[in-house]
Amino acid sequence: MSKNDFKGDLDSIVAIMDRLRSPGGCPWDREQDYKSLVPYVIEEAYEVVSAIDIGTPDDLKEELGDLLFQIIFLCRLAKEDGHFDIADVISGSIEKMVRRHPHVFEDTVAETADEVVKNWVQIKDEEKKKAGTKGGYLSDIPEHFPALMRAHKVSKKASRTGFDWKSVEGVLDKVSEELGEFKEALIAGDSASVEEELGDLLFSVVNVGRFVKVDPEEALRKTTIKFIRRFHYIEKKLGETGCELSDASIEEMESLWKEAKREERKQEILSP
């Protein structure tokens, strides 16, 4: 089979994966297993997010293809082990989406997004009870999620039981309380307490995000992108004068940081 035999469809990419894993295929691909692919799955997923944020449609198309290939790869491994293949994955996804959207495919009524989410959670709980996999109320939130994302999901799910503040003001009071305790731990110089209190403070801030309907993972990710952009502006401007980052004073860097902010505001004003 030559490269000209492959077309732009699912069967072709599955055939490519089969060829790579077959005797005489690619030595690297043949050595991979489930665990070795984990870093690549995570990396490709984040590159999709990056393409959505700062890339072009072509970038997004490419990154989605890379992520799809990792899915095909995992399905191939599962097929070799006699578990399932890509067709089973697709069939399972179709069945699940139809089952969890009874307001679309059946007679259930859900006129708002909140009602849809409520129904979705209820259906998931029923599925777990039938499968005998339902554990503690918060046990289904994966431990491998990024810490900020997991904290958000944990607090959001816990709030559905009524275990929550009545208003965002109450959460802000909690942030102030935790900040005070963090300062006390710093003064005491107890590293274990500093770590614990910083965790409590971060968890409280996550709850502020939940109350104002801002995903803290997204907010921090975008702020980090902004920080990198402005820092690179400083680096570029210093380079134009022949100055290295390590040689610049904090006053010079702070001045260029403010300049970067002003330039961003100008671009926002000029943008249609």
**For position 132, what pLDDT does the model report?**
74
Does 233 lie in the same domain as 194? Answer: no
The Cα–Cα gap between 158 and 247 comes to 50
SS3 per-residue string spanning 22-64 = CCCCCHHHHHCCHHHHHHHHHHHHHHHHHHHHHCCHHHHHHHH
Which region, left, alpha or beta, applies to residue 162 given φ > 0 means left and ψ of -120 to 50 means alpha?
left
- Model confidence at 144: pLDDT above 90: no
**For position 7, what pLDDT does the model report?**
66
Write out pLDDT tens, residues 52-64.
988 899 999 999 9
Write out pLDDT tens, residues 30-56.
999 999 999 999 999 999 999 998 889
Does 255 lie in the same domain as 204? Answer: no
- Does residue 137 form part of some domain? no
Distance from first CA to last CA of the chain, Å, rounded? Answer: 50
The Cα–Cα gap between 127 and 174 comes to 36
221: which 2 tokens? 């990710």
Tokens 């449609």 belong to which residue?
A: 57
- Does residue 51 form part of some domain? yes
Angle at 162 between CA 159 and CA 164, to 5 degrees: 55
- We report the CATH number of the domain holding residue 170 as 1.10.287.1080
Q: In the predicted model, what is the mean pLDDT of the chain?
A: 92
Instruction: Give the range of the structural domain holding residue 188, as residue numbers without chain letter.
Output: 147-214
**For position 271, what pLDDT does the model report?**
65
- Does residue 235 form part of some domain? yes
Does 90 lie in the same domain as 104? Answer: no
Q: Total domain count for the chain?
A: 4
The pTM score is 0.70
Lowest model confidence (mean pLDDT) among 131-140, 170-179, 226-235? 131-140
Q: What is the dihedral of CA 240, 244, 249, 255, to 10 degrees?
A: 30
Mean pLDDT of 197-201: 97
Comparing C-alpha atoms, which of 125, 145, 143 is closest to residue 135? 125
One-letter identity of residue 16: I
Does 232 lie in the same domain as 152? Answer: no
Does 166 lie in the same domain as 239? Answer: no
